[in-house]
Amino acid sequence: MLNLSEIFYSFQGESTFMGRPTLFLRLSECNLDCIYCDSKHSFTTRKTVALADLIDIVRQYDSPYVCITGGEPLLQKTPLVKLIRELVKSGKIISTETNGSISIKEIPVLVKRVIDVKTPSSGHSGSFLTENLQYITPYDEIKFLIFDRQDLEYAENFIGSNKIEETGCQILYSPNTEDQEITDYMCKWIAGSKKNRIFQPQLHKLIKEQPVYIDL
């Protein structure tokens, strides 16, 4: 069984899959409470769904891309891993988002694991589980939400002190798109630094079109 908040079809707003039409499975519950969280509605469960039923729903939906998000999906790790394995067998291209505070060890490397490192603006800097550093692969992506210059400094220190570039993963910098000043600053900083950072405006916040919700 999996506790779900919602299923919807929309554009991927984050990661290197950004811009691709994607079916989102939003799992309920989270172990953090970030100041800027825009998905607190997922903290409560709308429906507990049998794994087999969920697999059928996703298989039948005409979307090669599937993103498992939350909340914090890794709180339901056992059924989550089963779900991932079945969907990969069906040919789906899966990404899983996580807030970085729970071990990713058991999450199959066949999926794109998009791992947050919480910056000071979240209220949860320091929540990253350092054990996860040893499991990061080149297919994974590390994401920092940047709300101000202190967040950027924190991110750069984290990358340097933990040798993140040596893992070969993609490093995503996502500015608070509602703040033009930090967005402009990030553009200039990334271009000027010549570092391998990917500028990731929050695409999903720019889209006015409503997602297509699937009945639960």
Residues that bind ligand SF4 (CB under 6 A): 30, 32-34, 37, 39, 70-72, 99
| Nearest CB to ligand SF4, comparing residues 115 and 182 | 115
Report CA-CA distances (Å) from 183 to 53, 92, 109, 156, 201.
42, 33, 32, 17, 8
| Nearest CB to ligand SF4, comparing residues 70 and 175 | 70
Q: Please list, in sequence order, all residues whose beta carbon lies within 8 angstroms of the beta carbon of residue 113, skipping any fewer than 6 positions away.
A: 95, 96, 98, 104, 107, 137, 139, 140, 141
CB of 64 to ligand SF4, least distance (A): 25
Beta strands in the chain (DSSP E): 2-11, 21-27, 47-49, 65-69, 93-98, 112-116, 141-146, 170-175, 198-199, 212-213
The residue whose two tokens read 């990358």 is 159
Instruction: Identify the three-state secondary structure at position 180.
Output: helix
| Nearest CB to ligand SF4, comparing residues 97 and 140 | 97
| Nearest CB to ligand SF4, comparing residues 23 and 27 | 27
| Nearest CB to ligand SF4, comparing residues 70 and 201 | 70
CB of 127 to ligand SF4, least distance (A): 8
CB of 82 to ligand SF4, least distance (A): 22
User: 2-11 and 21-27 as β-strands: parallel, antiparallel, unpaired?
Assistant: antiparallel
CB of 200 to ligand SF4, least distance (A): 15
CB of 193 to ligand SF4, least distance (A): 26
Q: Are 12 and 65 in contact (CB under 8 A)?
A: yes
